[in-house]
Structure 1
Amino acid sequence: MLTIQPYTDALAPAFHEINAAWIADMFTLEPHDEHVLSHPREAIIDRGGVILFVQHPEHGVIGTGALMPTGGGAYELTKMGVRADVHGSGAGAVLLDALIARARALPDITALYLLTNSRCAAAIHLYERAGFVHDADIRVRYGATYARCDVAMRYPLG
């Protein structure tokens, strides 16, 4: 049984470890990544964002993801990753559903979007199944945040 846990400072190392592993495996950690992963309270929580963790009863924390405010009621679904040794466990879908539910509950949200890379095909498929749609305007407005961004998607909140 997978459970969702909210952010605590004690879980900050897991946030860093899980995300740094998949980013470094597929890409290069960029300065923006390093800042967010090293300072999740400052970069996300203290600004009104959310970080959630998915926990397995035997394996502990196996995944994490965040909703980071980017201004004007927009939130980026970001730093979502699941440990490589548990890929295929369904943890990503459970985590994504929990993040979307939390986003819908945010009082000031006007947009929910994500930035990714076409090499992350499994993740893109997961996002599409959850209802995210590809959006060129999101890529123009926010895509410069990461050099690796070549895919931008938004979630229809209405």
Structure 2
Amino acid sequence: MSNEGPSYPQDRPAQDRPAQEWPAEQAYGQQPAYGQPSYRPAYGGGAPDQVRFHAPGPTVEHPRATLAFVLGLLSVLGLTILGPFGWYYGNKVVAEIDRDPREFANRGIAMAGKVLGIIGTVFLTLTVLAIVVLIVVAVVVAAS
């Protein structure tokens, strides 16, 4: 080994080391140079195709998710006429929640209302078919 001096850069004296060059940073609130994008839209502004983020915090429950659930549940419990309404509202609410899931929190309740509405609609269809079959059978028996 030779004694020419330290071999690592941090061991060299400060005057021998090259100065670090940091990129120029903009001061807070300073406008960017002409032709450079600012990347900070004004409050409520921005391009229409940009994603707008909500402030972090708790989301609220969708006001019609519980309605969809109740309609679907009642349709399964015997009021089958409410099945299509539960299905419709459940589908509509789930679509609204999926459009922006950060805004509403109770997608599961809306989905349960949609599924119960589908089941209630199937029960309604079976009930209507059973009534039609009973009427046809009654007409055939009465005619003979």
TM-score interval, normalised by the smaller of the two chains: under 0.3
Q: TM-score normalized by structure 1? A: 0.21
| Greater per-residue strand proportion | 1
